[in-house]
Chain A
Amino acid sequence: MFDQSKIGQSFPSFTYQVERCKIHELNLAIGDENPIYHSKEAAQAAGYPDVPASPTTPTTFQFWGNPDFVKHLVAIGVNVMRIIHGEEEYEYLAPIYAGDVLTGVTTLVDGKSRQSKDGSSMDILTLETRYTNQNGQEVLKARQVLIVR
């Protein structure tokens, strides 16, 4: 049963510098060959100041920028071995480019327990991370639903 009193709790903020190489590497793994994700020159030739973040680049912000994320989940009582990623949603508020320095704050915005028909229960957690860039501009909201069985 998930401890409802944890709802509204924010984890300590983290800072992450958006790396050109990381955008390149992520898109290599995905197989997206769009040159603007792989070369500064190609990005600039297309009118961007630097390599832009691709749609799912924010996943690198979370895992590389916030290595304590799992620890924070454990601290609010989540069995991290039993997590299933249910949903992911990004709201892009302003473009993000390589070189930007982002500050992220993750908040547990919802948590509930649900009983399955077979009597087992699962917890459904919703986390929201808001990212602000080096100019104090809010650039991204990332919403994540984790199912803990």
Chain B
Amino acid sequence: MTTEAKLPTKRYFEDVQVGDEIPRLVKAPVTHLQLVRYAGASGDFNPLHTDPKIGEMLGIGGIIAHGMLIMGFLGQLLSDYVGPTALRKFGVRFKSMTRLDDVITCSGTITEKYEADGEARIAGKIQAVDQNGDVKASGTFVAALPKRGGE
């Protein structure tokens, strides 16, 4: 694995305001190979996500993506925004099925800034939608951010 990809820049509590939008993340179209990879990586081998015959049999018209892959996209959005160890809470509700070739866009808004348990925290809402604007997953998060001069 090459490590040429850039590290996200560090974000401070003071940099974030209520109402701020998290920079959008537009993912590449979902592919069958990606779902096979995700099955192996996550350990969720439900054939609904990898075997087109099962999807046909169940009458859902082909394979559907793992909900957790979509949550993974939202996790990438948040990890890019606050860093990997800043999240305190992250929850989503799965709203509709994602199919092959769907292009998922993740977005979010900051809804709150507060201090709790000795930490400066932000809270926000997030969602993942497809190319038609259909919501696939939506939810909320809480993250702790460092304060300037506080380290």
B89 & A28 in contact (Cβ 8 Å cutoff): no
Complex interface: chain B residues within 8 A of A75 (CB): none
A31-B27 contact in complex given A26-B42, A85-B94, A86-B94, C-beta closer than 8 Å: yes
Residues of A near B91 (CB, < 8 A) are 87-90, 143
Instruction: Check: B116 CB closer than 8 A to any chain A CB.
Output: no
Interface range on chain B (Cβ under 8 Å from partner):
35 or more
State whether B41 touches A88 (Cβ < 8 A): no
Consensus secondary structure, chain A interface: mixed
Contact in complex: A52, B72 (CB < 8 Å): no
Are B85 and A46 touching (Cβ within 8 A)?
A: no
Which of A1-9, A53-61, A100-108 binds B?
Answer: A53-61
> Does A35 lie within 8 Å of B42, measured CB to CB?
no
A25: contacting residue among B4, B40, B79, CB under 8 A = B40
Q: Is B71's CB under 8 angstroms from A88's CB?
A: yes
Q: Is A36 an interface residue (CB 8 A)?
A: yes
Measured between alpha carbons, how far is A42 from B3 in the docked complex, in Å?
Answer: 7
A60 touches B75 (CB 8 A): no
Give the distance to chain B from A125, nearest Cβ to Cβ, in Å.
Answer: 15
Question: What separation, in Å, do the CA atoms of A106 and B139 have in the docked complex?
Answer: 23
Cβ of B84: which chain A residues have Cβ within 8 Å of it? Answer: 34, 36-37, 48, 52-55
Asked whether A59 lies within 8 Å of B1 as measured between CB atoms, the reply is no
Q: Does B52 contact A (CB under 8 A)?
A: no
Complex partner residue of B89 from A31, A48, A54, A90, CB under 8 angstroms: A90
Interface residue tally on A, bucketed by range? 35 or more
Whole-angstrom CA separation of A56 from B69 in the bound complex: 9
Asked whether B7 lies within 8 Å of A34 as measured between CB atoms, the reply is yes
Q: Which residues of A contact B27 (CB under 8 A)?
A: 31
- Tell me if A32 counts as interface (CB < 8 A to partner B): yes
Which B1-47 residues have C-beta < 8 A from chain A? 1, 3-5, 7-8, 27-28, 34, 37-38, 40-44
Q: Is the CB of A46 within 8 A of B7?
A: yes
B99 CB, nearest partner CB in chain A, Å: 15
Bound CA–CA A26/B59 (angstroms): 29
Chain B residues lying within 8 Å of A60, measured Cβ to Cβ, are: 41-43
* A39 CB within 8 Å of chain B: yes
Between-chain CB contacts (< 8 Å), 15 pairs: A26-B41, A26-B42, A26-B72, A30-B72, A32-B79, A36-B7, A55-B79, A59-B44, A60-B43, A63-B44, A67-B43, A85-B67, A85-B94, A87-B94, A89-B92
Closest 7 CB pairs of A and B: A63-B43, A89-B91, A55-B75, A33-B5, A35-B3, A30-B72, A29-B37
* Known pairs A28-B41, A39-B3, A63-B43 / 17 extra A-B pairs, C-beta < 8 Å: A25-B37, A26-B38, A26-B41, A31-B27, A31-B76, A32-B76, A33-B5, A34-B7, A34-B8, A41-B3, A48-B85, A52-B84, A55-B79, A59-B43, A60-B41, A84-B94, A88-B67
